[in-house]
Amino acid sequence: MSALEFLLRGRRKVEIAHFNHGTEHGEKAETFVADLASNLGLPCSVGYVKSEKKRKESQESFWHRERHAFFESFKAPVVLAHHLSDAVEWWIFSSLRGMPRLMPIKKPSSNIMRPFLLSKKQDLHRFEKYNHIEDPSNQSTEYARNFIRSEISPLAKIINPGIETTVRNLYHV
């Protein structure tokens, strides 16, 4: 919602893109987004899971692959609202798997961009005026990313209270 609001304030031509992961919450989220787009008079495209999960692929990796295939099907840039906390989570996640990586602000061969990646979450959301809904699965530590968000990131902040600055500095911005 914050990214949408930012783009609308900048008088950008906007189309809303939503990906329905096929979860229990998916229909509710899709309806919410479609209704918002309709109320704002904006076009809305919805993507759905189109393939099968590979045998050894995690559910999170599968959803990521499907979601990005949908977003990359657009010719226009696709703006995602990842913020600095997401960048920290991804860096921790990839580090724990032995390959520390930064979430790209913009991949060279992709239309996907994350212009808010180095912004703190509270700064991104402070002007939010549209309602939003939260996927209940975000609270489940069954998924590695959520476990990192709710359990590991708070501990990392005890060890390094400036971890967001540490990760931001890795971008050499």
Please give the Cα distance from 150 to 140 (Å, whole number). Answer: 9
Q: How many domains does the chain have?
A: 1
End-to-end CA distance of the chain: 26
State the Cα–Cα distance between residues 32 and 22, nearest whole angstrom. 15
Angle, alpha carbons 84-18-131 (nearest 5°): 70
CATH classification of the domain holding 43: 3.40.50.620
Tell me the C-alpha distance between 67 and 161, whole Å.
33
pLDDT tens digits for range 97-139: 999 999 999 988 899 999 999 999 888 776 566 666 676 667 7
Taking the model in full, what pTM does it have? 0.85
pLDDT of residue 162 exceeding 70, the answer is: yes
Contact between 111 and 75 (Cβ < 8 Å): yes
Asked if residues 152 and 120 have their Cβ atoms less than 8 Å apart, the reply is no
Q: Which domain holds residue 27?
A: 2-170
In whole angstroms, how far apart are CA 148 and each of 34, 89, 91, 95, 122?
31, 6, 10, 12, 19
Q: Give residue 115's Cα distance to chain centre.
A: 12
- Range 87-103 average pLDDT: 95
Instruction: Specify the 3-state DSSP secondary structure of 142.
Output: coil
Q: Are 42 and 130 in contact (CB under 8 A)?
A: no
Least confident residue range of 9-23, 63-77, 81-95, 150-164: 9-23
Amino acid 22: pLDDT: 86
